Every structure is written in structure tokens, then in C-alpha cells.
Amino acid sequence: MGFTFQTSDRTASGIDESVLSPLLARADRAAERLDKTNFVADLTTVYALPQAPAPGTIERVAVLGIGGSAAGSRCVQEACGSILPLHVVDNIDPASLRAALDAGDPARTAWVVISKSGGTTETMAQCAVVREHLRARVGAQAGHGQTYVVTGPDGPLRALAEADDLPLFDVPVPVGGRFSVFTPAATVPLALAGVDVAKLLEGARVAARQAAEPGSASSLLAAHLVAAELSGRNVVALWAYAERLESIGEWFRQLWAESLGKVRADGTRAGQTPLHCVGSTDQHSIQQLMVEGPRDKVALVIGGPPEQGWLVPPGAGIASGHEMGAILEAMRRATSAEMVRSSCPVHTLLLDAYDPASVGALLMTFLCATVVAGELLDVDPFGQPGVEAAKRTAKALLTDPGGAMDRETAVLLGEAKKISTGM
């Protein structure tokens, strides 16, 4: 259960030991305090989970949420698989919501509405549209018994759930959305879909205990990535060498960017730009930039045991006689080696298995590394003031069209100077 962690040769990677060494010691000290930080909820607490749907009543699970309220369940389900399909709608784009409604029978869908604040604009809009659609399809009682609400202690979403007597689950108050993968924000839809949540949490507990030990994967990862940033490597590329791990890259992108992209107390700015890639597909796009572009990048590579089967028959050149999974594994090692040869540090995390316990350990390690990195960078990894500012602007645009904020926004975006290329 778990994963292995390795870092590339420091000399070949161009790592500055004078920058890295003190960070390694500081990271270990910071990790010792992780158990005093309630950033992922108390993993000893057993949170309520929904009962499994009666056989034949539900054919899929659909999540209505955005950001951390959606990314966690998606990345776990895609990495591990599930009994029922899980459809995540994490955008206000009408086409996405229409596709979700058309993808299966809405009346045989377990709809899970997730918003910690209880008033997220996008999620409340999605919820209202889905409930109206269900009423039109199956009548006034639509949603009872098949709509689940996960939210904080107050807000309009909780009021709606209580008024309609919908199954209601709590998100722990101290836990931010991007840290919520081990709370009901993710465990409720995962449990409904048939993922073994107990094993997911056990993997997380093991990783949390290990994170506090000297030289843990969390401390090493934090120290190496911060050393890279302080050495001018402002882009961290997460390469998933299995398509089932691609959504972990999306989840990590939010975690790393939103936690560490901050203005310090002295006015200086911190943060690396995360991007996620998929091997071997992006060997034919991003790899060229990684190898011969500016030396401003560091790579994280995640993978797992090569998939068995699909032996390539004769007539396919050097691929013949090899299994497809073995070819992908050779591509991973070759791509990583070429990045190191070009002085790009590479850190590799390989799952022992594509199961909930191993994925839980990996995600917890990333969470702990993020909190430790925040201390090393002297920023608060919690909160997202830049996001909140945009939410306030959007609220003003929706509630006061043509008002002062609307006019100021038009000036900032140059909307009066737009050039039409319409036909």
C-alpha cells in the first residue's frame, strides 16, 4: 500500500546544494508540526456516509460542484475505478450541464451538490437548473432520495436541504476546498459510486504519520520544489504516465497554485505555475520545451504498475513483442532521463497499485508537502484572497449591470476598443 518516491541525480539536474540543504532541515522541522494543523480534518473522526443505493435504483453518480468540491472525487474515482460511473460537472458552461443531464436518466442519477460556503454561485445555479429539470421529468417530488447535499454549517444550500428534507452531510469548517478530498466533499460521492472509502482514508492516515518523520517524502518534495523556485524554476510540470492519473494533475494544479501563489507580508510574490501533462501524449508537445526551452522548470512524474496485456504483434517495428504497458513505462523512463540530462530536476512518485489506499497515500503526501512548502516560502497556504476578489467583482456585475464595477471592468478589458471579425 502506498508509493515509492525518488529524486533525480542532483548534479545532473543542476540543483544548487547551497539552496537545497538548509531547506531540507527546515522542511523536517515544519513537518513535525503538521499534526497540529487541522488542514485536512481529523482523520480519526468517522464522518457519516450515505447508504449504498438499492440495487437497480441508481445507474450513475453526478457531482455538482467546482474547484476543490469536485476535483478530489474525480481524481480518486478515475485512478481507482468504481462500481457506478461518476460524472463531475465543475463548470457553469451550459453545454457541460446539458451533457450531464443527457448522459443518463436524470431520475436514476444520484445528484451530489457540494459547496462548503453553501452559496457558491456556480453550484447554486447548477442545482437550481437540475432540480427544475427533474421536476419537469418526474414531478414535484423530484430529487427526494436521489439528491444529496454536502455543505458547511450555514448558507442557502443548507437551508434548501433542510427545507426539502434532503440527505445532508457536513464539510468540516477548518478545511478548505482544495484540502477536502478526505472529507464528505469527496467521500460522499465516492461512497455512492462504490469506492472503498475506508481504504482511501487508511492510506491517508499512514501517509500523514509518515509525513512527520525526518526525511519523509512530503518534506523532501516540499524542499526540492521550493529550492527549484528559489533557483528560478517557476514552472512545475506534473507528468501522469497513466491516463487514469490525469485528473490527479488537475487536482494538484489547484492545490499548488491556489495555496502557494501569494503575496508575502513584505510585498514580494511567491508561487510556481503548475501544468499537467500526460505521457506519452505530451512527449509530442511539452517535452521539447522541457528539454531545450528555458531552464525554468521542474518535473513531477507520477505513475504506477504497468498495465498487463495487449502484446504488440509483429509488423510494428521496435514495439513488436512488447506489451503496451511496458512500452509506456520505457517512455516514462526515457523522457525523465532526457529532462535530467538537460538539467531539469525530476521527482518520481510511483503507486504500488491503482487502489484507494495507494491513491490516498499519494494525495495526502501532496497535501502535506504543500503545507510544508508554505512555511518554507513564508506564505499562508490556506485561503485564496485573489479568488475572493474575483468573486466580489462577479457579484457586482450580476447584481448591478451597468453600474460602477461594470464600467470599470469594461475599461480594464478594453471592451470599448474591441475589433469585430464577424462575417
155 burial class (0-12, 13-18, 19+ CB within 10 angstroms)? middle
pLDDT number for residue 69: 81
Same domain, 239 and 173: no
**Residue 327 has what DSSP assignment?**
H
Same domain, 130 and 238: no
Q: Which grid coordinates belong to 139?
A: 414531478
Domain assignment present for 275: yes
Same domain, 335 and 360: yes
Same domain, 94 and 171: yes
Q: Reduce the DSSP state of residue 26 to 3 states and report it.
A: helix
Q: Summarize the confidence of residues 290-315 as an average pLDDT.
A: 94
Q: Which grid coordinates belong to 245?
A: 492519473
Domain assignment present for 402: no
Q: How many whole angstroms from its chain centre is CA 365?
A: 13
Same domain, 220 and 331: yes
Q: Summarize the confidence of residues 157-180 as an average pLDDT.
A: 89
The CATH number of whichever domain residue 273 belongs to comes to 3.40.50.10490
pLDDT band at 141 (very low <50, low <70, confident <90, very high): low
Same domain, 191 and 227: no
Domain assignment present for 319: yes
Where does a domain end: 198, 220, 255?
198
The yes-or-no answer on residue 297 being catalytic is: no
Domain that holds residue 234: 3-32+212-377
pLDDT number for residue 143: 54
Same domain, 135 and 231: no
pLDDT number for residue 119: 85
Which of 246, 258, 329, 375 is an active site residue? 258
**Residue 244 has what DSSP assignment?**
G
Q: How many domains does the chain have?
A: 2
pLDDT band at 118 (very low <50, low <70, confident <90, very high): confident
Low-confidence winner among 164-168, 251-255, 383-387 (lowest mean pLDDT) = 383-387
Same domain, 147 and 281: no
The yes-or-no answer on residue 388 being catalytic is: no
pLDDT band at 317 (very low <50, low <70, confident <90, very high): very high
pLDDT band at 220 (very low <50, low <70, confident <90, very high): very high
The yes-or-no answer on residue 347 being catalytic is: no
Rounded-to-integer distance, Cα 6 and Cα 10, Å: 11
Same domain, 216 and 155: no
Quick: pLDDT tens for 375-421. Answer: 999 999 998 888 888 888 888 888 888 888 888 888 888 887 766 67
Same domain, 81 and 226: no
Quick: pLDDT tens for 183-209. Answer: 999 999 999 999 999 999 999 999 999
Quick: pLDDT tens for 339-366. Answer: 999 999 999 999 999 999 999 999 999 9
Same domain, 83 and 229: no
Same domain, 267 and 322: yes
Domain assignment present for 391: no
Q: Summarize the confidence of residues 58-87 as an average pLDDT.
A: 92
Quick: pLDDT tens for 390-399. Answer: 888 888 888 8
- Quote the mean pLDDT of the chain: 90
Which of 144, 292, 388, 391 is an active site residue? 391
Domain assignment present for 397: no
- Which residues touch 252 (CB under 8 Å, ≥6 apart)? 238, 274, 276, 300, 366
